[in-house]
Amino acid sequence: MRKAFFLMFLLLGGLGDAAAQSVTREEIVALLAKGPSKGSETAPVTIVELSDFQCSYCRSFWKETLPRIEEAHIKTGQVRFVYRHFAILGEHSVAAAQAADCAGEQRKFWEYHDKLFASQGPFAFTKQNLKRYAKELGLDNAAFNQCLDSGRYAQKVEGETGIGKVMGVRGTPAFFINGELLVGAQPYETFQLLIEGELEKAKSAKSPSRR
């Protein structure tokens, strides 16, 4: 119980880098994997993305590669895909990340996530625009606006970004595929190869040993 509290405190940005490093890598990856997700909870492969809504490479991944991963691996039960914030490109990145979590309160995280990437551009993430996107998606305006104005998720976004830095992430997008770090908007084929490798490992682990 104490360890779980420690990890949650870390996620919320309450600990410095030195304290974070006292937690094992596996525990931190497991904590990151508890974010907004697509796919089966029992999938043998978990991909955690650390991303910034203002990052053009992150948008390329969202537009070109994620749909292929979703069709071939998420919908088939092979992969569980998790999104976490690594908001490093300024105050609008931080605001967009908080807004996505506010949308998540109304079970619209992924719809809002898609809206942000589709809208990416200069001044796209002003507070006024972030509220407009929520309205366009049919969210409860009053609840969303109150959430965003309150800064309710500021510490959470800061904590996730801090954890990424502790784990060696220096740019976006970055991915942990069953705990192994992959950096950059890699082509689908790179993900496919790594996913298939992890599936083989999972299959071998289930097979009885041969003498």
Torsion of CA 117, 119, 120, 121, to 10 degrees: 170
**Identity of the highest mean pLDDT range in 1-15, 30-44, 103-117, 193-207:** 103-117
Backbone angles phi, psi at 138, to 5 degrees: 80, 25
Average pLDDT (52-58) is: 97
Alpha helices in 44-90 (DSSP H): 56-60, 66-69
pLDDT the model gives residue 134: 98
Beta-ladder partners of 80: 46
- In-domain check, residue 208: no
First to last CA, the chain: 41
- In-domain check, residue 164: yes
Do 9 and 23 form a contact (C-beta atoms < 8 A)?
Answer: no
pLDDT the model gives residue 9: 46
pLDDT the model gives residue 166: 86
pLDDT over 70 at 16, yes or no? no
* Token pair listed for 89: 């490109």
Average pLDDT (102-127) is: 97
Give the domain CATH number at 187: 3.40.30.10
pLDDT the model gives residue 15: 45
- In-domain check, residue 106: yes
- In-domain check, residue 211: no
Average pLDDT (190-196) is: 97
**Identity of the highest mean pLDDT range in 43-47, 163-167, 201-205:** 43-47
Domain that holds residue 161: 37-199
- Output the 3-class SS for 92-132: HHHHHHHHHHHHHCCCCHHHHHHHHHHCCCCCCCCHHHHHH
Which of 31-40, 154-163, 200-209 is predicted with the least confidence, judged by mean pLDDT? Answer: 200-209
pLDDT the model gives residue 174: 96
Sheet with 37-38, strands from edge to edge, namely 37-38, 79-85, 45-51, 174-177, 180-183
Q: Please report, as a single letter, which amino acid is at residue 157.
A: V
Distance CA 28, CA 32 (A): 6
Count the domains in the chain. 1
- In-domain check, residue 109: yes
Average pLDDT (149-168) is: 92
- In-domain check, residue 13: no
pLDDT the model gives residue 22: 61
Which residue, chain included where needed, has tokens 């801090």? 162
Distance CA 99, CA 153 (A): 8
pLDDT over 80 at 20, yes or no? no
Do 148 and 141 form a contact (C-beta atoms < 8 A)?
Answer: no
